[in-house]
Amino acid sequence: MPSAVLWDMDGTLVDTEPYWMTAETELVESFGGTWTHQDALQLVGNGLSDSAAILRSAGVDMHSDAIIDRLTDRVRGMLTTHGVPFRPGAQELLRDLQDAGIPTALVTMSLRRMAEGVVELIDFDAFRLIVAGDDVQNPKPHPEPYLLGAALLGVDVGEAVVIEDSPTGLRAGLTAGAVTLGVPHIVPLDDVGAHDLWPTLQGRTADDIIALHRTHRTTQTEIRS
């Protein structure tokens, strides 16, 4: 079995990307700028500091930390008002992984207070730990977030599976050395190099994750040998 499954949050566990896009649009327009859907796509999967830099270049005259706090508070407000839209099959797969005894961690570039708020809405102990954007020096696509998650769990990242919905996140998982699964949502993932792509997590079980890990870990071991 894989030593752990490391999950992205926004777009993978929960469908919060539309909330982020709304918050970004409101913020840019409040400074007289224009923010298109195409503009918003370039932020999908990015660390918040990188996103803040892009928003500043779009005319948002605020310090990066203030931008991050403003976006986080707005998205949290929408989650409170509209609820947390979990991605199809995500909670069911999490529970099955737990029943199979496979450790899981949440590795997100959202702030910890955001991640903890989402995790609290899952009605079982889905994750052993959270690695958030304010826990790392280098955001995705740097491998640090996934390397840290594996280290905190006490596992070899090369024996872990990463689940992601963005090119940025997949590159982080691949560079870290994990078996990396892409589940496309807002942006396509065809040319990123994920070990496998699933159109959805709906109907997937721990057995599918174990088979994915066995296939691609074996392949990697054969290549190295």
Same domain, 92 and 147: yes
Predicted pLDDT at 198: 98
In 30-80, the DSSP E strands lie at: none
DSSP of 165-210: SSHHHHHHHHHHT-EEEE--SSS--TTS--SEE-S--TT--HHHHH
Give me the number of domains the chain comprises.
Answer: 2
Same domain, 27 and 117: no
Same domain, 52 and 133: no
Same domain, 116 and 220: yes
Same domain, 149 and 186: yes
Same domain, 168 and 71: no
Same domain, 68 and 106: no
Same domain, 74 and 146: no
Give residue 78's Cα distance to chain centre: 19
Same domain, 163 and 64: no
Same domain, 9 and 90: yes
Gap between the Cα atoms of 197 and 212, Å rounded: 10
- For the chain, 225 residues long, the average pLDDT of each consecutive 10-residue run is 96 91 95 94 85 95 95 90 90 97 96 91 93 95 98 97 96 97 94 97 98 85 52
Same domain, 40 and 128: no
The CATH code of the domain that includes 25 is 1.10.150.240
Same domain, 99 and 178: yes
Name the residue range of residue 33's domain. Answer: 17-82
The angle subtended at Cα 7 by Cα 108 and Cα 184, nearest 5°, is: 95
Predicted pLDDT at 117: 87
Q: Which of 38, 55, 82 is the last residue of a domain?
A: 82
Nearest to 144 by CA among 3, 6, 2, 5: 6
Gap between the Cα atoms of 148 and 72, Å rounded: 23
Predicted pLDDT at 225: 46
Q: Which of 39, 55, 82 is the last residue of a domain?
A: 82
